Chains A and B, each alone.
Chain A
Amino acid sequence: MKAYLHGTEPQRIGSGCRTLSTALVLLLLPGFSSMLRAQTDCLSCHADKTMQDASGHSVGVDADVFHSSIHGSLSCTDCHTSIKEYPHPDTPVAVKCVTCHADQAAGIAGSVHASASAHPCTSCHGDAHAIFPKDDARSAVYPLNIPRTCGTCHASDALAKKYGLQNVYSVYMDSIHGYAVSKEGLLVAANCMSCHGSHHILSHKDTQSPTYKTNIPNTCGTCHGGVEAEYSAGVHGKAVAAGNLAAPVCSDCHTAHAILQPTLADFRMQSTPICGSCHKGRFATYQDTFHSQLGLLGGYVQTARCWDCHGAHDILPASDPNSPVNKANLIKTCGRCHTDANASFVQYQPHANPRNRKLNPALYFTRFFMNLLLWSVLGFFSLHTLLWFIRAKREQGKSGPGGEAKDD
């Protein structure tokens, strides 16, 4: 034990005393042989928290913390199986958690964290002598501690780059889930594990992964059951269920990690283009309207966005009588903002295309006439003014200031 040579003066004396007393106990109990049994045997040395092995790793154990930990009732030798007696070898065999935790080990083995050297159990569960049940606030895998635990590695730009991942730690922490976990302390809010699982974490490209596209509604539905039911009844849910991978799942509209409270201004601003990324034609005609023009201005969010009229999760075709954009429901739908909407008011076409002569002839010709007026007036007077300007300049040049006087 070179370790206590590195200790401070009083500790060295203390450790020395403990060593002496251990020897004394062993001498006084000859029937006990030299087998190490109780924790106290080991702790008589290892309770020194500053104790280090030859390579400088801490081999001290906080006895009180260990006793209260989930493994507190076990003997040291239950895990440190290669140590049978004192003195023990300087380099004991590494502890194998798999001996007891076979299921978890099997999960890890097939996961993205399969490499045991890069991901020892302690990289998530923390100090091996201070492992607590996951519902204990001291646990590294307690729901409120999980983002920080995963963030130990996944908040690193370097690591994200190395594995071709996005560094999503900070966007998650700013998201509605991250906020609920870190600020409001909600145990039920989604942490990393809620969506990705724990030991058997798979790539989102793996069809078995809870984050694989078609599994996402189910994953989110674990908590958002009502929304999942609505989604499954809507056009998007049906399309995905029918195997159309182009149709959106939860994360396509809400994003995966940067999920915002949907009534927030930022979400209202960002999400219309998301619908537009698939519905290009509808997005273009929406952009021509007052709703869009004003909605973009100065962060104004109240004007109608896609889902204000079409619904969000349970989007139905306009032909469906339950659709908010079905003709029969328009007064009610428009009336949510335009309180005095009437039958004639709802004839307004929120996706009218003034460039399409067949679909919107009246609008097409209105725009055509206005453009004709605009460009003929401006064209004529631009030429008129330009010629006049040139002529007046030349007159001025001929007779100095007041050249027009010559015309009288």
Chain B
Amino acid sequence: MTDETGARPTQQPESQPQPQGQPPESGQPQVSVKEKFYVRFTLAQRYLHVVLFTSFLGLAATGLPMRFSDNPAARFFAREVGGFGAILFLHKFCAVVLTLAFLYHLKDIATRSFVHREKGIFWGPTSMVPNWKDAQDLIGHLRWFVGLGPKPQFERYAYWEKFDYWAVFWGMIVIGFSGYAMWFAPFFAKFLPGWALNAVLVVHGEEALLAILFIFSIHFVNTHLRPDSFPMDMVIFTGKETDEEFRKKRTLEYRRLAAQGKLEARVGEKPIYWWVNFAKVIGFTAILIGLVLLVLTLIGYFGNA
């Protein structure tokens, strides 16, 4: 990609033409002398991801047998686990855990923005809220896929990461609400129309199917299995990424921080060796379970239809 070097700087107010403060790490491709690590996620955020995917795997593993209960694998699994009673208990248990994690996240957002008055949560380059640049990035990225333009450069959260976030956010509300509506149907019936009691099962099942298919295929590939991150992007486990990764994947954030002289403040310790390996075991287990569930879901879905 020789034609794009500096030729098409992305139209972002924060993006500086050249970082000033850090001459040795000016974004030019070069081999780092010593690997430097930058903090991307806090410990709480990393734990939240672990709680999120653990409970999600639990929900998927116990929800799928209910959705595809005429599938022999589902019946076998349910019998082994201890029957439907056990399956539903585990499903509700994971649901409560995930609900608590979601509420914790909402509380975290609220505290950070309204108590600590942290800037950039609802707007600006570090926000999860989609903006005009995300739309441009999406178009630009698609054009780059097919060789019609240069590769866009991304800020702290790229558009597909924001989509992942909001997909989970929306899914949490939709699946959560419909799930609790079934759990406490007579109570919800007091203010929902009659047909809604029928609809919640459809909504719950379809949205869950979307979540399962999306996470176990699109999220896995986009975030972990694509060639640039293969086999797994460890940043969500270690919280840190190398200087090279940071520069390549989130060029605009890197440049912005360098320009503001805040880059050094983000430097972190090199992740501990055993912790990385431990995280890999956990992560690969999760991915493996996810892929197995993906296959079973597809069998269940298309075996039925």
Q: Which residues of A contact B (CB under 8 A)?
A: 287, 289-290, 292-300, 338, 340-342, 344-345, 347-349, 352, 354, 360, 362-363, 366-367, 370-371, 373-374, 377-378, 381-382, 384-385, 387-393, 395-396, 402-408
Contacts and interface: CB of A to CB of B under 8 A. Distances in A.
Nearest to B68: A293
Nearest to A408: B27
Contact of B226 (A296, A362, A388): A388
A143 B147 CA distance: 88
A299 B142 CA distance: 49
B29 A406 contact: yes
A296 B69 contact: yes
A338 B248 CA distance: 57
Interface in B193-225: 193-199, 201-203, 206-207, 209-210, 213-214, 217-218, 221-222
A378 B67 contact: no
18 contacts: A290-B201, A292-B69, A297-B69, A344-B189, A347-B194, A348-B185, A349-B198, A354-B198, A362-B193, A367-B206, A377-B167, A385-B217, A385-B218, A387-B146, A388-B145, A391-B147, A396-B227, A405-B248
Tell me whether chain A's interface is mostly helix, strand or loop, or mixed.
helix
B151 interface: yes
B248 A408 contact: yes
Q: Which of A341, A344, A403 has the most CB of B within 10 A?
A: A344
Interface in B1-45: 1, 4, 27-29
A298 B87 contact: yes
Interface stretch (B78-86, B107-115, B129-137, B265-273): B78-86
Scoring B147, B190, B194 by chain A CB atoms within 10 A of each residue's CB, the highest score goes to: B194
B118 interface: no
- Of listed B151, B187, B189, B218, residue having the most chain A CB within 10 A: B189
A363 B199 contact: yes
Contacts of B195: 347, 349, 352, 360, 362-363
Contact of A298 (B83, B145, B202, B218): B83
Contacts of A388: 141, 145, 222, 226
A293 B66 CA distance: 6
- Which 9 residue pairs are nearest across A and B when measured between Cβ atoms? A347-B194, A298-B78, A300-B84, A370-B206, A387-B145, A298-B83, A345-B189, A348-B197, A296-B69
B194 A344 contact: yes
Contact of B222 (A342, A360, A371, A385): A385
B77 to A, nearest CB: 8
Contacts of B1: 395, 406-407
B55 interface: no
A407 B152 CA distance: 9
Given A290-B182, A387-B142, A345 B248 contact: no
Interface string B233-253: 000000000001001110100
Interface residues of B, number: 69
A206 B292 CA distance: 57
Interface core residue of A290, A297, A362, A384 (most chain B CB under 10 Å): A297
B4 A407 contact: yes
Interface string B151-162: 101000000100
A155 to B, nearest CB: 32
B199 to A, nearest CB: 4
Nearest to B81: A298
Given A348-B198, A406-B1, A408-B248, A298 B75 contact: yes
A267 B202 CA distance: 29
Contact of B186 (A338, A349, A378, A385): A338
A289 B203 CA distance: 12
A296 B72 CA distance: 10
Interface string B139-180: 001101111001101000000100100010000000000000
A374 B167 CA distance: 11
B214 A293 contact: no
Nearest to A348: B197
Contact of A366 (B67, B145, B202): B202
B66 A294 contact: yes
A377 B194 contact: no
B267 to A, nearest CB: 20
A393 B145 CA distance: 11
A299 B197 contact: no
Given A338-B186, A345-B186, A385-B222, A300 B83 contact: yes
Contact of B74 (A295, A297, A391): A297
Nearest to B249: A404
Given A294-B66, A405-B29, 13 more contacts: A293-B67, A295-B69, A299-B83, A340-B187, A348-B194, A363-B199, A373-B210, A374-B213, A378-B218, A384-B160, A385-B222, A388-B222, A391-B145
Contact of A378 (B82, B190, B213, B222): B213
Nearest to A340: B186
B180 to A, nearest CB: 14
